[in-house]
């Protein structure tokens, strides 16, 4: 009798087990790639991080792709735009795959590339099985070498980065890659004590400055010659509450004179974090002395603020320019923005680069890094560590929430 009960119980358990397995298979419980499979994303970065290059000196950068899951690819493409008045390309070498003839460009096309200020990179993998890119591992795609025509940080802008993935059923999928921005302006200015300087002062740019000033009807000194102005700046980033030695941040700045931007390129300089938790930097610029200047300041990974006085401060409400403007003359000018908060979170956008907004794309990027447990990866830290504590974690995600709670979500203009 007992034996019969045991047999029946075992049978029932077996049937339940089989039904559970069948149900699990239909629901994909045993699908190994379920966690890593989601939307594949591939970040592209440059190695090494560009620094200021002296006039006529050479540079060489390697573009490195880093996928968030294993990807078997048949090819890739991207576009690099650069200012051919400031940079000339000397070689383009493919490190993964071979050039797709008639579609991509390599060193043999450097004359065309330099003439247009644009490089079309396109490669294909010349094997039947494709090329496997491993999850969270850098792979060298292309090495770009060139020469700086004027002193500055080479400005190379990546666009339209795509990879072509081979799926298990032999179909192909186009994967749009995220692009880590690795560009800044070039310049002919000198280095400063607290960071490299990148401002524009070539002869042609000076003439455009003169043109701007002559158009400024309310300028008090529109007919004056431009003079060298040294601007020392300090500012505070939201959430940076620790001092870590040797932290630096690319900072972009636009100058408006009588409401008109005086140069199409941002001035870029490197600000360094001091023990007072403020970021210090300086730059030089040739400007016509006048009383109608406004600055747009944008630290890396943060939203831009509009500054119309040399010591603008937030109070219970955000600082507002009103009718104020900044008077600049020759000499050194201190721009003390320690009373302003620069809000964190502008790290990506639809094109994979900062887009002047703090939105769900920025938040999702941080959450993905946290989920993938890659918060200490140097690439991810450079891209998304908002509070500069060396790790991308929930504190960074919280900063974005904090910004949204204040009702702020885009650059001031």
Partner 1 sequence: MRGINTIYPTFPPQLTTSPTPIPIIGDVDQNNKIEMLDYYYFIRAAYSGMLPMGMNADVNKDGQVNDQDRDIIIKKINK
Among residues 97 and 281, whose Cβ is nearest to partner 1?
Answer: 97
Nearest approach, Cβ of residue 123 and partner 1 (Å): 10
The H or E element containing residue 378 is helix 378-384
Among residues 102 and 111, whose Cβ is nearest to partner 1?
Answer: 102
Nearest approach, Cβ of residue 112 and partner 1 (Å): 15
Nearest approach, Cβ of residue 361 and partner 1 (Å): 24
Nearest approach, Cβ of residue 161 and partner 1 (Å): 13
The H or E element containing residue 365 is helix 360-371
Angle at 382 between CA 310 and CA 356, to 5 degrees: 50
Using a 10 angstrom Cβ sphere, with 0-12 exposed, 13-18 middle and 19 or more buried, the burial of residue 137 is exposed
Question: DSSP secondary-structure letter at 195?
Answer: B
Cα–Cα distance between 365 and 226 in angstroms, integer?
44
Nearest approach, Cβ of residue 171 and partner 1 (Å): 5
Among residues 94 and 269, whose Cβ is nearest to partner 1?
Answer: 94
Alpha-carbon distances of 161 from 177, 201, 300, rounded to whole Å: 5, 32, 22
Among residues 125 and 249, whose Cβ is nearest to partner 1?
Answer: 125
Axis crossing angle, helix 360-371 with helix 394-405, rounded to the nearest 10? 160
**The two three-digit tokens of residue 151, written as one number:** 């002193």
Cα–Cα distance between 27 and 43 in angstroms, integer?
31
Binding site for partner 1 (CB under 8 A): 74-75, 77, 100, 102-103, 124-130, 162, 164, 166, 169-172, 174
Nearest approach, Cβ of residue 40 and partner 1 (Å): 16
Cα–Cα distance between 402 and 392 in angstroms, integer?
16
Among residues 113 and 386, whose Cβ is nearest to partner 1?
Answer: 113
Among residues 130 and 178, whose Cβ is nearest to partner 1?
Answer: 130
Cα–Cα distance between 303 and 164 in angstroms, integer?
33
Nearest approach, Cβ of residue 122 and partner 1 (Å): 8
Among residues 77 and 113, whose Cβ is nearest to partner 1?
Answer: 77
Phi, psi (deg, nearest 5) at residue 261: -65, 130
Among residues 159 and 320, whose Cβ is nearest to partner 1?
Answer: 159
Nearest approach, Cβ of residue 32 and partner 1 (Å): 22
Buried b / exposed e along 44-71 (16+ C-beta atoms within 10 A) = bbbeeebebbeeeeebebbbbbbbbbbb
């Amino acid at each position: 009798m007992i034996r019969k009960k045991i047999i029946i119980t075992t049978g029932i358990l077996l049937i339940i087990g089989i039904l559970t397995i069948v149900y699990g298979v239909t629901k994909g419980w045993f699908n190994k790639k379920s966690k890593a499979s989601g939307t594949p994303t591939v970040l592209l970065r440059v190695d090494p991080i560009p620094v200021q290059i002296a006039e006529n000196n050479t540079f060489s950068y390697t573009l490195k792709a880093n996928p968030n899951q294993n990807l078997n690819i048949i090819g890739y493409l991207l576009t690099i735009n650069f200012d051919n008045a400031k940079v000339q390309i000397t070689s383009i070498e493919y490190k993964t795959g071979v050039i797709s003839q008639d579609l991509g460009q390599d060193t043999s096309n450097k004359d065309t590339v330099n003439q247009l200020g644009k490089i079309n990179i396109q490669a294909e993998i010349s094997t039947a099985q494709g090329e496997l890119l491993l999850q969270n591992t850098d792979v060298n795609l292309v090495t770009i070498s060139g020469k700086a025509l004027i002193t500055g940080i080479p400005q190379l802008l990546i666009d339209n980065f795509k990879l072509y993935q081979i799926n298990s059923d032999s179909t192909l999928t186009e994967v749009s890659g995220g692009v880590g921005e690795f560009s800044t302006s070039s310049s002919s200015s000198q280095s400063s004590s607290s960071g490299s300087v990148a401002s524009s002062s070539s002869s042609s740019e000076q003439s455009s400055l003169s043109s701007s000033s002559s158009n400024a009807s309310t300028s008090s000194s529109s007919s004056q010659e431009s003079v060298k102005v040294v601007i020392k700046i300090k500012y505070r980033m939201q959430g940076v509450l620790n001092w870590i030695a040797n932290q630096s941040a690319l900072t972009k700045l636009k100058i408006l004179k009588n409401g008109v931007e005086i140069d199409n390129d941002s001035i870029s300089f490197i600000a360094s974090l001091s023990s007072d938790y403020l970021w210090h930097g300086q730059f030089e610029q040739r400007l016509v002395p006048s009383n109608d200047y406004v600055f747009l300041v944008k630290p890396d990974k943060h939203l831009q603020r509009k500054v119309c006085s040399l010591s603008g401060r937030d109070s219970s409400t955000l600082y507002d320019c009103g009718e104020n403007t900044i008077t600049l003359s020759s000499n050194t000018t201190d721009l003390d923005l320690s009373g302003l908060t620069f809000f964190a979170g502008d790290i990506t956008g639809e094109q994979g680069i900062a887009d002047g907004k703090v939105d769900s794309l920025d938040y999702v990027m941080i959450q993905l890094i946290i989920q993938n447990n890659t918060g200490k990866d140097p690439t991810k830290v450079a891209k998304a560590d908002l509070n500069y504590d060396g790790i991308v974690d929930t504190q960074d995600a919280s900063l974005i929430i904090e910004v949204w709670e204040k009702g702020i979500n885009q650059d001031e203009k």
